[in-house]
Amino acid sequence: MRVIKFALKTGLNALPTPGSLKLVHLDWQDSKLMGWFLEIHKDYQDEYEVYIAVTGEPVPTEYNYVCSSQLNTGGGYFVVHAFD
């Protein structure tokens, strides 16, 4: 197993995976939204979906909350929330 990261955007992110991924942390790095994922090589997935929503945005019911992150940019604070 190992931890890997992907750049994420608001909305649906479909990540190809050689094994099985699980989002464990969401944060900003070099002004980009990044997700850190635990990669396990025992169960195969075709892709792993992560939905990134801003506060108050309706989220499809098939997703479960994972974590949130805050960014101070443009003179204000913005919070995004990750669901898988």
Structural Rg of the chain based on CA atoms: 13
pLDDT value at residue 20: 84
Q: What is the pTM of this model?
A: 0.87
pLDDT of residue 24: 95
Residue 45: per-residue pLDDT: 66
Which tokens is 76 given?
Answer: 């204000």
pLDDT in tens, the chain (84 residues): 889 999 999 999 999 876 788 999 999 998 899 999 998 876 666 789 999 999 999 999 999 999 999 987 777 788 999 999
With a CB cutoff of 8 Å and minimum separation 6, the contacts of 18 are 39, 41
